[in-house]
Amino acid sequence: MNITLDDKIKPAYREVLNRNPGETEFHQAVLEVLESLGPVLVKHPEFADHRIIERICEPERQIIFRVPWMDDQNNVQINRGFRVEFNSALGPYKGGLRFHPSVYLGIIKFLGFEQIFKNALTGLPIGGAKGGSDFDPKGKSDNEIMRFCQSFITELYRHIGEHTDVPAGDIGVGGREIGYMFGQYKRITNRWEAGVLTGKGLDWGGSLVRKEATGYGAAFFVDEMLKVRNNSLEGKKCVVSGSGNVAIYTIEKIHQLGGKVVACSDSGGFVYHEQGIDVELLQQVKEVERRRIKDYAPHYPESKYIAKGNIWEIPCDVAIPCATQNEINGRDATMLIKNGCVAVGEGANMPTTPEGVRVFLDAGIAYGPGKATNAGGVSTSALEMQQNACRDSWDFEYTEQRLQQIMRKIHKLCYETAEQYGSPNNYVRGANIAGFTRVAKAMVAFGLI
Ligand code: NDP
Ligand code: 2IT
């Protein structure tokens, strides 16, 4: 790939490649941010004097640990656990935990790096981190999940805390896993410390709207991008990849805003339902029964399940990737544009390859990068921390209003920053520059730490 880095920034990127060999997703995430920062160094020469870029690319702390657990056949299993505490300039480390067999240090670092700037964009007091394990929750019994989560927290508990580091969910980690981890943390520390984890159950310190927040926020962000183009979600044919937490609530909110989602997926294939995905059924199949997306189709004879199909081949007005990194490549992006897609909002983290990003930017469509579009989840986590800190709980309507206000502010910040820096409509530039500048200013203020 052609590197289009400013000469002042190239050595920092080279250093990242040398220091972190083989961590390709991390390299990709760093390059994407650094490509935006040339004009920032011109406006803020003090950032170069303080070597902010070099410091921001190096995590403050990286923890890697053994997670031994016993499966239902009484066999000992061993996984690897991670927590990368990337940056605490703006607040306690904050970011989710991912349980997926593909997890290794490079994935956790890319996610932690993205999280720094995403969290800065929210305007809330949260630093950036990510963690997880190469544990595969698929096909595991409830008891196996519990034993794994207990073992994971038996090491991680000493590194986290409401003012230190506050994990939450990500792929493979939802309310059930957060429950087991909170229970074990409470037991080991003898502290009922609600603010140590977010995404908790509603009866024990959780916030209304947190479950829905990433998806709702993504739909709000896409709606905002369309509004500045005198357009809206009303009547739009949409495609959403994934069928997990983010996908389900993206679909629900798009329907409430007048759009129609005709397809969603999992790693096995996708379901196409011309009349619009039935969200209640989707929740039943995926959240309650924990089954596969192919189990949706038999409920509607007019819907179709396509095993191993490419969901981006479906013509649509709006595409919202909500599964995983690099799920849209250059070819997929080109196909989406050719088929008339006018907006792409990233519910997932880094779902588009650099080639795909280039296609969207060149086409001039409304393209919302993940760190802006999916920031509603972590924002509502910060609202959960606020409620925990004052031992309060807000109602659904009020919490959703707060989420919507935050998404509007993030959209405005990215939009205006892109204009100020001479790249109108480029939300990638806007998000990277606005997020980075906030963190960089705090790091300068703190002196060399
Ligand atoms: P879930 O585990 O609830 O759902 C993940 C979905 O994506 C599943 O449908 C899964 O299919 C699919 N998927 C995961 N990995 C792959 C893969 N390698 N290839 C194909 N499909 C895959 O996770 P979330 O919905 O929470 O997360 C989805 C995305 O959103 C991730 O990128 C995450 O980082 C991001 N995100 C999540 C936030 C949150 O609050 N949860 C906040 C912001 C971003 P299958 O079951 O077949 O694996
Ligand atoms: O990628 C993300 O922003 C998340 N997985 C949510 C993080 C959080 O702390 O709520």
143-158 pLDDT, tens digit per residue, is 999 999 999 999 999 9
Known catalytic residue: 441? no
Q: What is the mean pLDDT of residues 265-270?
A: 98
270-296 confidence digits (pLDDT tens): 999 999 999 999 999 999 999 999 999
Centroid of ligand 1 to alpha carbon of 241 (angstroms): 9
Six-digit token string for 217: 């926020």
Beta-carbon neighbour count of residue 359 at 10 Å? 24
Q: What is the mean pLDDT of residues 442-448?
A: 97
To test the pocket of ligand 2, the residue of 85, 94, 100, 115 to mutate (highest count of ligand atoms within 8 Å of its CB) is 115
Q: List every span in the chain annotated with CATH 3.40.50.720.
A: 211-373
CATH label, 211-373, candidates 3.40.50.720, 2.40.128.110, 3.40.50.1000, 3.60.40.10: 3.40.50.720
Say which ligand is closest to the CA of 243. Answer: 1
Q: How far apart are the first and last CA of the chain?
A: 34
Q: 128 has which bridge partners?
A: 87
Superfamily of domain covering 61-193: Leucine Dehydrogenase, chain A, domain 1 (3.40.50.10860)
Cα–Cα dist 415/428, whole Å: 10
Cα–Cα dist 181/176, whole Å: 9
Cα–Cα dist 111/176, whole Å: 22
Cα–Cα dist 198/214, whole Å: 13
Distances (CA, A) of 226 to 229, 230, 247, 411, 414: 5, 6, 20, 11, 14
User: What confidence score (pLDDT) does residue 4 get?
Assistant: 79
Q: 68 has which bridge partners?
A: 78
Alpha helices in 228-311 (DSSP H): 245-256, 279-283
| Residue 92 Cβ contacting ligand 1 at under 6 Å | no
| Residue 267 Cβ contacting ligand 1 at under 6 Å | yes
Centroid of ligand 1 to alpha carbon of 349 (angstroms): 9
Say which ligand is closest to the CA of 307. Answer: 1
> Which protein residues touch ligand 2 with a CB less than 6 Å away?
94-96, 115, 118, 168, 170, 198, 349, 377-378, 381
> Which has more pLDDT, 140 or 4?
140
What average pLDDT is seen over the chain?
A: 97
Q: List every span in the chain annotated with CATH 3.40.50.10860.
A: 61-193
- Cα 255 from chain centre: 22
Ligand 2 atom, smallest distance to 166 CA: 9
User: What confidence score (pLDDT) does residue 1 get?
Assistant: 45
Cα–Cα dist 294/269, whole Å: 8
Return the percentage of the chain with pLDDT > 90, whole number.
98
Spatial neighbors of 331 by CB under 8 A, at least 6 apart, are none
To test the pocket of ligand 1, the residue of 97, 100, 115, 245 to mutate (highest count of ligand atoms within 8 Å of its CB) is 245
Ligand 2 atom, smallest distance to 169 CA: 5
Spatial neighbors of 185 by CB under 8 A, at least 6 apart, are 153, 157, 160, 191, 193, 196, 197
To test the pocket of ligand 1, the residue of 170, 221, 346, 350 to mutate (highest count of ligand atoms within 8 Å of its CB) is 170
Q: Whose CA is nearest to atom 30 of ligand 1?
A: 348
- Band of residue 449 on the pLDDT scale cut at 50, 70, 90: confident
